[in-house]
Amino acid sequence: MADRLLLEDVRFYGRHGLTKAEQAVGAWFSVDAELALDLGPAALSDDLGAAVDYGAVARRLVEIGTSQRVNLIERLAGLMVEALLREFPAQEVRVRVRKLTPPLQGLVGTPAVELVRRR
């Protein structure tokens, strides 16, 4: 499938992590999502009913990221990728989760994971 719906830098604040600091202070997270699906009907019709509403995808990502606490960003990405595959008509979903402000001493850079799942 060559067509892709892309969402970049969907942000939310969460308390995900293993350390007490991560759970108490929390951090900002950024999520990119890529859904492989047929965008032809929407491109031809200019009708939202023929498209996947990217606002609904973004809201679902934020809901997952803020509704329950997890220890690992791998688990967070897994919850997101599985929900998007289950709830939207994509043949493949790619999710990248970045912890933008981890409260960890000496950390340089932005930790991230990326998961890809197919039907």
Half-sphere exposure of 115 (CA within 13 A, CB side): 17
Are 58 and 7 in contact, with CB atoms under 8 Å apart?
Answer: yes
What Rg do the C-alpha atoms of the chain give, in angstroms? 15
Are 35 and 93 in contact, with CB atoms under 8 Å apart?
Answer: yes
* Residues that are catalytic: 99
